């Protein structure tokens, strides 16, 4: 399992916040608040973007939890291109005002990871799932279910961070990655999984149940 401490502000954001803060303070000192107002707004934006709040894990053993904060943009039966199987796909779109820390949706072991270079289309578009830059994490639960999580870069996202490695053991809600500045996460489940969300629903990483495994 990839243990990661959960500070209220994600470590991935510390350098960005420090730079923005130094610029804001410097301009404030030399030119006054009027000139520094916009840099201070950038500091506030950085802090809210990189927040990494603790989450409560639901106890239902068959629940598949949301890997990200955001809005459901897809609930459909498709072909999982990474495991070559029929699947239920549920996609969560994250805008720049959502927390971007990504969490594991099920208890399980990582069976494989892959990275694909690609475009940076609007992550709200369906074709972004297969055309954008993305990182794939495949998990197998103790009951033998395969679950595929795909971190997809967005229009202005330029860095996907995935810490999972084959053989790693995770519990639901464990932090496994981060995507900077707008993106989506696709979850491919066994086709018999029962969805518990619909397109348009707002979800929270770890705390929202996306589906239940049969």
pTM of the predicted model as reported, rounded to 2 decimal places: 0.85
The pLDDT value recorded for residue 103 is 95
Classify residue 57: in a domain, yes or no: no
Across 47-68, b (16+ Cβ under 10 Å) vs e yields bebbbbeebeeeeeeebbbbbb
3-state secondary structure of 46: helix
Cα-to-chain-centroid distance, residue 212: 19
Residue from 66, 91, 101, 183 carrying the catalytic annotation: 183
Contact between 131 and 159 under an 8 Å Cβ cutoff? The reply is no
Residue 96 and residue 44 in one domain:
no
Residue 98 and residue 152 in one domain:
yes
Residue 25 and residue 127 in one domain:
no
Q: Is 94 exposed, middle or buried (0-12, 13-18, 19+ CB in 10 A)?
A: buried
3-state secondary structure of 53: coil
The CATH code of the domain that includes 150 is 2.70.70.10
The pLDDT value recorded for residue 156 is 61
Classify residue 130: in a domain, yes or no: yes
Q: How many other β-carbons are positioned within 10 Å of the β-carbon of residue 146?
A: 19
The pLDDT value recorded for residue 99 is 85
Residue 115 and residue 190 in one domain:
yes
Classify residue 139: in a domain, yes or no: yes
Classify residue 1: in a domain, yes or no: no
Residue 94 and residue 197 in one domain:
yes
Residue 182 and residue 118 in one domain:
yes
Phi-psi region of 105 (alpha: psi -120 to 50; beta: other; left: phi over 0): alpha
Report, as ranges of residue numbers, the positions in the chain whose pLDDT lies below 70.
Answer: 1-6, 119-128, 155-158, 182
Domain that holds residue 39: 11-49
Residue 68 and residue 35 in one domain:
no
Residue 167 and residue 67 in one domain:
yes
Residue 69 and residue 158 in one domain:
yes
DSSP-assigned letter for residue 119: B
The pLDDT value recorded for residue 2 is 42
Classify residue 79: in a domain, yes or no: yes
Rounded Cα distance, 95 and 37, in Å: 24
Counting the structural domains of the chain, the total is 2
* Tens-place pLDDT, residues 190-214: 999 999 999 999 999 999 999 999 8
Per DSSP, helices labelled H in 90-199 are 128-131
Classify residue 5: in a domain, yes or no: no
Residue 183 among the catalytic residues: yes
The pLDDT value recorded for residue 78 is 96
Rounded Cα distance, 17 and 166, in Å: 32
């Amino acid at each position: 399992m990839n243990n990661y401490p959960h500070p209220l502000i994600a470590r991935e954001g510390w350098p960005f916040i420090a730079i923005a803060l130094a610029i804001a303070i410097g301009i404030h000192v030399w030119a006054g608040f009027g000139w520094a107002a916009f840099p201070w707004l950038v500091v506030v934006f950085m802090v809210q973007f990189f927040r990494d709040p603790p989450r409560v894990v639901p106890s239902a053993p068959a629940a598949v939890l949301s890997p990200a904060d955001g809005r459901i943009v897809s609930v459909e039966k498709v072909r999982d291109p990474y495991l070559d199987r029929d699947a239920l796909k549920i996609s969560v779109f994250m805008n720049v005002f959502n927390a971007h820390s990504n969490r594991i949706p099920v208890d399980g072991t990582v069976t494989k990871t892959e990275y694909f270079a690609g475009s940076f289309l609007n992550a709200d578009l369906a074709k972004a799932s297969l055309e954008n830059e993305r990182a794939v994490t495949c998990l197998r639960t103790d009951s033998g279910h395969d679950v595929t999580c795909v971190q997809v870069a967005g229009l202005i996202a330029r860095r996907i961070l995935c810490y999972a490695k084959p053989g790693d053991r995770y519990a639901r809600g464990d932090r496994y990655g981060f995507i900077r500045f707008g993106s989506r996460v696709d979850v491919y489940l066994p086709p018999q999984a029962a969805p518990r969300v619909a397109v348009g629903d707002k979800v929270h990483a770890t705390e929202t149940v996306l589906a239940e495994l049969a």
